[in-house]
Amino acid sequence: MNSTRHALWPSLLTPDLHGRDDLCAVSAEGVRVRFADGRELLCGTSGLWNTNLGYGNLAIAQASADALLNASYLSVFRYENEYAQRAADALVELAGAEHYGRVLFSTSGGAANDLVMKLARQYQALRGMSGRRVVVGLRGGYHGLTFGGFALTGENLGQQVYGVDQRLVRHVTPNEPEELNVLMARQGTQIAAVVVEPVLGSGALPLSAEYVAELLRLREEYGFLLVADEVATGFGRTGDFFASQRWPAQPDLLIASKGLTNGTSAAAVVLAARSVAEAFDEAGAVLSHGETQAGTPVTCAAILATISEIHRLGAVARGRRLAGRLDDGLAALIAEHPLVTGTTGIGCFRSVRVAAADGSGKPLPQFEVAALVAAIREAGAIVHPGLHGVQLFPALTYTDAELDELLACIREGIDLYTVQVAAQTETGDEDHR
């Protein structure tokens, strides 16, 4: 293993893990990733939840290459470009042209959440309600690590250390309507928007139908904008193109990012309801937001090609079928393995909850999750750390054999982790004696 430290400073890795060949990817194809140590691992995370169609899709790669050759760089910063126009029209048609009217381009889910917070506050000001500046998120929700998105993220990830301003942000517990009602009764006239993930990313926790219904009712009563952050749930991940399409009524703003270009470009979009866009049109108002690489030809060509490939491959329907097999496989894993305690999530957005290896029956401590992820890697698969266990985001194009392999790697990895814990405990006892 190469321990030489390169100039690269990777995200969210402790310094002792920098420069390791087993954590340095060199190529990827289909649903497998090759690393510098020579191993090839099954990807159970769709990259960072974004390669919904697997790696190396030729149609998306060709569309991107053509755009780079034909247009190189064109912006949507005080200009428009035809690629962005076509991509925006396609996204509106995909999400529902009867409700959505405009598309704003961004470069990441975090930046798009920053954009949404600005958009909601300016919308309220245009309606004569400039005092509506508070934005509400959910505890346990994740909206990125840019300063606006970081403020809205409902986990303690060091916001105070970094001086993130959360004075105009509130958090409530998901799926507890009473707590939401209490907040509205106290501050409803100050709230510009409520931002929710249809499935909370960190815990793979779906919002209940009752909670969504209450959000929609309170929107009508108090006049806030309802935002669906579908960075992770969009593009077929939960069984529909967008999870919010199952809601009784649509959100005012919808954020999409991860599956938007099948992971090929730094891209995000915000779809705005016609009613929101009309407030700006009627006032002739300019939204003060722009990003250099937002809405470029290569990004928009990748978006268009991704949409086309999802249709061609029948990826949403394939994802629904895969989710059914995943349900059965996880149920069998829970029944057969004494340390697997449950699962959460929907579609191909799932978690596996694991008990501590000490036989106590308590949930796996969060500080031990990284060791479990590493053990599953050793068994042959890449999974994502989750709440008291791991998270699974298989590509919608997985075969039955690949899903069986993923579940086998999880089972083997849990067993391997248990053996490692037992060995460490025994060594510790001997040292103590």
Residue 90 has a pLDDT of: 98
- Among candidate residues 37, 43, 2, 40, the one with its CA nearest the CA of residue 19: 2
Q: Specify whether the backbone of 19 is left (phi greater than 0), alpha (psi in -120 to 50) or beta.
A: left
* Average pLDDT estimate for 191-215: 95
Residue 5 has a pLDDT of: 75
| ∠ Cα 29 142 399 (to 5°) | 30
CA–CA distance, 309 with 202 (Å, rounded to integer): 28
Two structure tokens written together for 32 = 């497998």
* Residue-wise pLDDT tens digits, 206-244: 999 999 999 999 999 999 999 999 999 999 999 999 999
Residue 433 has a pLDDT of: 33
Query: pLDDT > 70: what percent of the chain?
Result: 98
In the chain, where are the structural domains located? 58-313, 314-432
Q: How far apart are the first and last CA of the chain?
A: 34
pTM for the structure as a whole: 0.95
Q: 58-313 domain in CATH 2.40.37.10?
A: no
- Among candidate residues 424, 326, 316, 312, the one with its CA nearest the CA of residue 371: 424
- The 8 Å CB, 24+ separation contacts for 311-318 are 312/59, 313/53, 313/397, 315/52, 315/53, 315/236, 315/396, 315/397, 316/236, 316/239, 316/240, 316/241, 316/396, 318/396, 318/397
339 membership: H or E segment, kind and range: none
* Residue-wise pLDDT tens digits, 176-190: 999 999 999 999 999
Two structure tokens written together for 251 = 């959100």
- Burial string for 159-189 (b: 16+ CB within 10 Å, else e) reads beeeebeeeebbbbebbebeebbebbeeebe
**Helices (H), ranges, 38-166:** 46-49, 58-70, 82-95, 109-126, 147-152
| pLDDT mean across residues, the chain | 95
Residue 430 has a pLDDT of: 42
* Average pLDDT estimate for 38-63: 98
pLDDT class of 426 with cuts at 50, 70, 90: confident
Q: What is the CATH number of domain 314-432?
A: 3.90.1150.10
**How many Cβ atoms from other residues are within 10 Å of residue 370's Cβ?**
12
* Residue-wise pLDDT tens digits, 378-405: 999 999 999 999 999 999 999 999 999 9
Decide if pLDDT at 40 tops 80.
yes
CA–CA distance, 180 with 221 (Å, rounded to integer): 13
CA–CA distance, 223 with 217 (Å, rounded to integer): 10
